Amino acid sequence: MTTHDETTPATGPDGLLEQPLITPTGQVVTAADGTVAPEGGESSSVGGMGRQILQVFLENRLAVVGLFVIVFFILFCFLGPVLYHTNQTNSEAALNATQNGAPNSGHLLGTDATGFDMVGRLMFGGQASLIVGFASAAVATVVGVIYGAVAGYVGGWIDAVMMRIVDVLLSVPVLFLLIALVTIYRQSEVLIIVVIAFVSWLVPARLVRGETLSLRVREYVQAVRVMGGSNTRIVGRHIIPNAIGTIVVFATFQVADSILLLAALGFIGLGIPAPGTDWGTMLSDGVNSAALGYWWEIYPAGLCIVLVVIAFNFIGDALRDALEVRLQRR
Amino acid sequence: MIGFLFRRIIQAIVVILGVVLIVFLLGKLIPGGEAAAALGPRRSPAQVAHFNLVNGLDLPLYDQFWRYIWGLFHLNLGYSFKSNEGVQELISQRLPKTLTLVGVSTIVALVIAVPLGILQVVKRYTLIDYTLTAGSFLFYAMPPFLLGFLLILYFNFDFRLFPVSPPINSTATTIFTDPRAFVLPVITLSAITIASFSRYMRSSMMDALTQDYVRTARAKGASNNRVLYGHALRNALIPILTLIGLSLPAIASGALITETVFNYPGMGLLTVTAASNDDIPTVLGSTLVITIFTVAGSLLADVLYAIADPRIRLGSSS
């Protein structure tokens, strides 16, 4: 999703592999969580700082709960169908089965209006919700970060024009813009990812531009310039890595927001088109028969959305607190 | 202050011009062009050519843009071929209702969120504080349409407290003649705003409590209440005006969902219905109008901020 990667060891300024760390809890971690030495040059990490960030993060119980919830849902949606076989493709066979069936031993959460098993449907729809959430947050973050870093680094009238464009797009209510784009360009999963990313890259662009403005006058940036480092190198290897804290926190919140946006689209009827589905579309389908008392068609999908969104918010909050530790030591 | 207001108004005009340009370009980006959207899949090339000629779509892009702006000044937002009506007519019936819904909900949200935030600061790090924080997390994470449906489910079906049907009268004064139909939409729309406003209020006041002027006040022997309400609250309240201004686009999005849930005939429902009919001129027209009103609302919030904050009101126009 982001440059955050805990499995590959970081390379230090000299290109040497850094030694893995052992946290007080006994876990072996490498300090490659994107932290950087404030006075250092290129994206490197100082052991103590990385450990400190991890420690602050793990001390936040809500964040650990959030992490468990997300891991659970990823396993549930992507590994679940392997273990829990349901028919999610043959609607004719499904139609012959019970429709709107109440939960029983065969269908743990009953069946929907077409006759699809609800547990399998939650896995199937959850795949789309999670993929759209992660992918659009990733695209939005990458585009926004590059845009913001370039605007802030180049400065002058180019920066002014680039930021006015962001102002203009930010003033359009998100859902109206989303609906306009989806109506014009027809629905598909890829289009929905692109469109949600299109309305979401503006905030990171602003954040990163702000950071860039303060970073580009730092001594180490001037040092690189004196040594003949190119502009691309300065932005890519020095400015963006040093803004990584802001970026990671934004990306985390954005996954939650993207999932909510997809749910809203699904509710309006512009979500993942049939035969696919997503949690929002499922919820809105279920609500159609709300008056009939088919609770299993509403609450499970709603609960999935709420749990995942809250979990990402917990993690985002904890990351922000953890990275503030780094800021305090700057 | 005059300098601040002048810059702020110029900025709003630039943003509105930019939005007009974007909405105009979105219309040009329709695959197959506007003719395809209006004439449908069984159009003939001759029909398309005629349509383009009549509507000036064969002109250069800048000419078309100029004509578009000229039309906007004459309140001409385009023509909805699907409903055989000018987009401006469709919008003029619905705009007052959305403005009423958004206005009332924002005021309700403020009236509830500010005391909630204060309560959280007064009782900070207690069970009440944590419960309210958890509540705001929940409402923030809950899709607004889910909340709306739960409200309908419990209050309409189970208790029959409020009518399911939307207010029938099409004027903005409906809220006075038929207030019961407004209760659930207003609750839905304000709930999410309350969640973010009260979180902001809490952190803003907590922040104020760490400031030097609070320490000075305490050192001078001011009572706890005086410090809280006389110093921290007064300083935390002004930025909430800016927050309202910044939240307006999000509130407008929330209104779209709320209107769809409750079948409330405003701009949001108009847009959603138009989208499901592939009525692109109406979607674009209502997007433009709602954005102009959002920008105007943010401008109003900033003007109020300038009046409320003595640092700007009395500052030199630098």
**Least trusted range by pLDDT, from A100-109, A205-214, A218-227:** A100-109
Q: Chain B contacts of A264, Cβ < 8 Å?
A: 143-145, 253, 257
Q: Chain A contacts of B257, Cβ < 8 Å?
A: 175, 264, 267-268
Cβ pair B117, B200 in contact under 8 A:
yes
**Is residue B123 left, alpha or beta, with left meaning phi > 0 and alpha meaning psi from -120 to 50?**
alpha
**pLDDT, tens digit, for every residue of A8-36?**
343 333 333 333 433 343 333 333 344 44
| Predicted local confidence at residue B178, as pLDDT | 65
What is the pLDDT averaged over residues A235-243? 84
Q: Chain B contacts of A176, Cβ < 8 Å?
A: 252-253, 256, 271, 283, 286-287, 290-291
Q: What is the pLDDT of chain B when averaged over all its residues?
A: 82
| Predicted local confidence at residue A147, as pLDDT | 93
Q: B226 to chain A, minimum CA–CA distance in Å?
A: 31
What is the pLDDT averaged over residues A301-321? 87
| Predicted local confidence at residue B42, as pLDDT | 77
Cβ pair A149, A209 in contact under 8 A:
yes
What is the pLDDT averaged over residues A139-151? 92
Q: State the count of interchain CB pairs (< 8 A) between A and B.
A: 134
Q: B29 to chain A, minimum CA–CA distance in Å?
A: 8
Pairwise CB contact (< 8 Å): A290 & B15:
no
**B174 band by pLDDT with thresholds 50, 70 and 90:** low
Higher pLDDT: B76 or A176? It is: A176
What is the pLDDT averaged over residues B248-273? 89
CA distance B196 to B156: 27
Cβ pair A315, A61 in contact under 8 A:
no
Interface test with chain A among B102, B278, B287, by most A beta carbons within 10 Å: B287
Pairwise CB contact (< 8 Å): A310 & B30:
no
| Predicted local confidence at residue A26, as pLDDT | 38
| Predicted local confidence at residue A328, as pLDDT | 52
Reply yes or no on whether the pLDDT at A274 is more than 80.
no
**Tokens 């300090």 sit at which residue?**
A31
Interface test with chain B among A65, A129, A183, A295, by most B beta carbons within 10 Å: A183
**Least trusted range by pLDDT, from A119-128, B162-171, B309-318:** B162-171
| Predicted local confidence at residue B290, as pLDDT | 92
% of chain A residues with pLDDT over 90:
15
Closest partner CB to B291 (pick from A173, A291, A305): A173
**Least trusted range by pLDDT, from A14-28, A73-87, A256-270, B238-252:** A14-28
CA distance B289 to A91: 42
**B159 band by pLDDT with thresholds 50, 70 and 90:** low
Instruction: State the DSSP code for A235.
Output: I
**Tokens 């926190």 sit at which residue?**
A249
Reply yes or no on whether the pLDDT at B168 is more than 60.
no
Nearest to A122 by CA among A64, A192, A75: A75
Pairwise CB contact (< 8 Å): A167 & B15:
yes
Pairwise CB contact (< 8 Å): A168 & B18:
yes
Pairwise CB contact (< 8 Å): A260 & B30:
no
Nearest C-alpha in A relative to B289: A172
Closest partner CB to A183 (pick from B19, B137, B283): B283
Amino acid at A44: S
For A321, the 3-state DSSP assignment is: helix
| Predicted local confidence at residue A134, as pLDDT | 93
Reply yes or no on whether the pLDDT at B313 is more than 80.
no
**Token reading at B223:** 């009572």
Q: Chain A contacts of B143, Cβ < 8 Å?
A: 260, 263-264, 267, 280, 283, 302, 305-306
Cβ pair B115, B228 in contact under 8 A:
no
Q: What is the per-residue DSSP string for chain B?
A: -HHHHHHHHHHHHHHHHHHHHHHHHHHHTSTTHHHHHHH-TT--HHHHHHHHHHTTTTS-HHHHHHHHHHHHHTT---EETTTTEEHHHHHHHHHHHHHHHHHHHHHHHHHHHHHHHHHHHHTTTSHHHHHHHHHHHHHHHS-HHHHHHHHIIIIIIIS--S-SSPP---STTHHHHSTHHHHHHHHHHHHHHHHHHHHHHHHHHHHHHTSHHHHHHHHTT--HHIIIIIIIIHHHHHHHHHHHHHHHHHHHHHHHHHHHHHT--SHHHHHHHHHHTT-HHHHHHHHHHHHHHHHHHHHHHHHHHHHH-HHHHSS---
Q: A34 to chain B, minimum CA–CA distance in Å?
A: 28
The angle formed by the CA atoms of residues B118, B119 and B125, to the nearest 5 degrees, is: 110
ipTM for this model: 0.87
* Measured distance between the N- and C-terminal CA atoms of chain B, rounded to whole angstroms: 9
| Predicted local confidence at residue A2, as pLDDT | 38
Pairwise CB contact (< 8 Å): A184 & B280:
yes
Pairwise CB contact (< 8 Å): A268 & B260:
yes
Instruction: Quote the crossing angle between the two packed helices A118-154 and A299-329, to the nearest 10°.
Output: 30
Interface test with chain B among A176, A179, A282, A288, by most B beta carbons within 10 Å: A176
Instruction: Give the CA count within 13 Å in the CB-facing half-sphere of B223.
Output: 3
For A272, the 3-state DSSP assignment is: coil
Q: B220 to chain A, minimum CA–CA distance in Å?
A: 30
What is the pLDDT averaged over residues A146-166? 90
Interface test with chain A among B145, B153, B257, B289, by most A beta carbons within 10 Å: B145
What is the pLDDT averaged over residues B20-36? 82
CA distance A88 to A78: 14
| Predicted local confidence at residue B234, as pLDDT | 81
Q: Which element (helix H / strand E) includes A21? A: strand A21-22
Amino acid at B244: I
Q: Chain A contacts of B30, Cβ < 8 Å?
A: 184
Reply yes or no on whether the pLDDT at B232 is more than 80.
yes
Amino acid at B228: L
Q: A193 to chain B, minimum CA–CA distance in Å?
A: 18
Pairwise CB contact (< 8 Å): A184 & B26:
yes
Nearest C-alpha in B relative to A169: B19
CA distance B136 to A327: 27
Q: Where are the alpha helices (DSSP H) in A60-117?
A: 61-78, 80-83, 91-96
Q: What is the CA A232 to chain-centroid distance, rounded?
A: 26
**Is residue A117 left, alpha or beta, with left meaning phi > 0 and alpha meaning psi from -120 to 50?**
beta
Q: Chain B contacts of A165, Cβ < 8 Å?
A: 18
Instruction: Quote the crossing angle between the two packed helices B280-308 and B2-28, to the nearest 10°.
Output: 170
Q: What is the pLDDT of chain A when averaged over all its residues?
A: 77
Reply yes or no on whether the pLDDT at A298 is more than 60.
yes
**pLDDT, tens digit, for every residue of A93-114?**
666 666 666 676 666 667 777 7
**B43 band by pLDDT with thresholds 50, 70 and 90:** confident
Q: B62 to chain A, minimum CA–CA distance in Å?
A: 19
Instruction: State the DSSP code for A22.
Output: E
**pLDDT, tens digit, for every residue of B292-305?**
999 999 899 888 88
Instruction: Give the CA count within 13 Å in the CB-facing half-sphere of A197.
Output: 20
Pairwise CB contact (< 8 Å): A176 & B250:
no
Global pTM value: 0.81
**Token reading at A311:** 């979990």
| Predicted local confidence at residue B20, as pLDDT | 92
**Token reading at A59:** 């001390």
What is the pLDDT averaged over residues B50-54? 80
- Whole-angstrom CA distances from B1 to A204, B6, B239, B300 are 31, 8, 17, 14
**Token reading at B53:** 């000629």
Pairwise CB contact (< 8 Å): A287 & B149:
yes
Closest partner CB to A180 (pick from B143, B250, B284): B284
Reply yes or no on whether the pLDDT at B36 is more than 60.
yes
**pLDDT, tens digit, for every residue of A23-73?**
343 333 333 344 443 444 454 455 566 777 777 777 777 888 889 999 999
Q: Chain A contacts of B283, Cβ < 8 Å?
A: 176, 179-180, 183
What is the pLDDT averaged over residues A146-155? 90
Pairwise CB contact (< 8 Å): B143 & A263:
yes
CA distance A160 to A295: 52
Q: Chain A contacts of B144, Cβ < 8 Å?
A: 264
Residues of A at the B interface, defined by Cβ within 8 angstroms: 164-165, 167-177, 179-185, 256, 260, 263-264, 267-270, 280, 283-284, 287, 290-291, 298, 302, 305-306, 309-310, 313
Reply yes or no on whether the pLDDT at A135 is more than 90.
yes
- Whole-angstrom CA distances from B302 to A306, B246, B298, B316 are 34, 10, 6, 17
Closest partner CB to A171 (pick from B15, B29, B276): B15
**Tokens 């890519």 sit at which residue?**
A236
